[in-house]
Amino acid sequence: MEVHIAFAFLLLVSCFATASYAHNVSLSTLNQSLIVSTSTTAGQVLRAGVDQITITWAYNTNLTATASDTNYTTVEAKLCYAPVSQTGQDDRKTDDNNLDLDKTCPFVITDGPYQRSDNSFVWTIPKDTPNATYFVRVYTLDADDDQIGYGQSTNGPKTSNLFLIDGTVSDQKGSAWSLFGNSFGYRYVWLLTLFLV
C-alpha cells in the first residue's frame, strides 16, 4: 500500500511537471543540423503491419562552427504527414510556430540518447497507421526536452522523397495511435495510470 501511495505521488508530480511546461518552440528557430534518410524510394507504397523502413540520421559535422551540437541530449524520430495528406484535415494541421500544437508528426518512431553518427533504426510500420503520404523527421532535444535541432527525409516544402503507407488492412479512425502517438497522449497515459493506482 505504501509503495502504491509513493508511486501515485511520483506520478502526480510528473503529471504536473509535464502539464505545466509550455515549450512554445518554433521550427524556424531550430538548427537544421541532422541529415536524415529513409530506405524508401520516392513514391514507394509500404504496407502497414508488414513492411519495414530503415531510418538513418547523423549530425552534419560541417556545422560544428555554426550550429554546435553541444546541448543535444536525446533524439526523437517521428513519422510525419506530407502536405498532400494534410489538406482539409484539421487533425493533421501544421503549426511551425508552436511545435506543441503541430500535428504534422503525430507518430513517434523511436527515441533515445543523442549520438553524432551511426544512427540507424529498423521500424516495422504499425498495423494501425493511417493510409497517407509521409516523410520522417528527427528532432534533437535538450536536457529540458525542448526541441533544439532537427533534420528530415524530405526537402523544405516537403515534396521530395515521400513514401506512402497503405493502411487499408486495418485503417481505423481514432485508433490507438491518435491517443498514444503524441505528447498529449502520454499525459493521458499518466493520468490513466494514476487512476488505475
Q: Are 77 and 134 in contact (CB under 8 A)?
A: no
Between residue 72 and residue 91, which ones bind ligand NAG under the rule CB under 6 A? Answer: none
DSSP state of 39: S
Residue 29 in the binding site for ligand NAG (CB under 6 A): yes
Cα–chain-centroid distance for residue 137? Answer: 7
- Residue 124 CB, nearest distance to ligand NAG (Å)? 18
Kindly tell me the burial class for residue 149, based on how many C-beta atoms sit within 10 Å of its own C-beta (0-12, 13-18, 19 or more): buried
Q: By C-beta, is 14 or 31 nearer to ligand NAG?
A: 31
Residue 67 in the binding site for ligand NAG (CB under 6 A): yes
Q: How many CA atoms lie within 13 A of 49 on its CB side?
A: 11
Q: Are 19 and 187 in contact (CB under 8 A)?
A: yes
Between residue 107 and residue 166, which ones bind ligand NAG under the rule CB under 6 A? Answer: 131, 148, 164, 166
Residue 37 in the binding site for ligand NAG (CB under 6 A): no
Q: By C-beta, is 68 or 197 nearer to ligand NAG?
A: 68
CB atoms within 10 A of CB 45: 12
Between residue 42 and residue 61, which ones bind ligand NAG under the rule CB under 6 A? Answer: 45, 60
- Residues at the contact surface with ligand NAG, assessed by CB under 6 A: 22, 24, 29-31, 35, 45, 60, 62, 66-68, 70-71, 131, 148, 164, 166, 168, 171
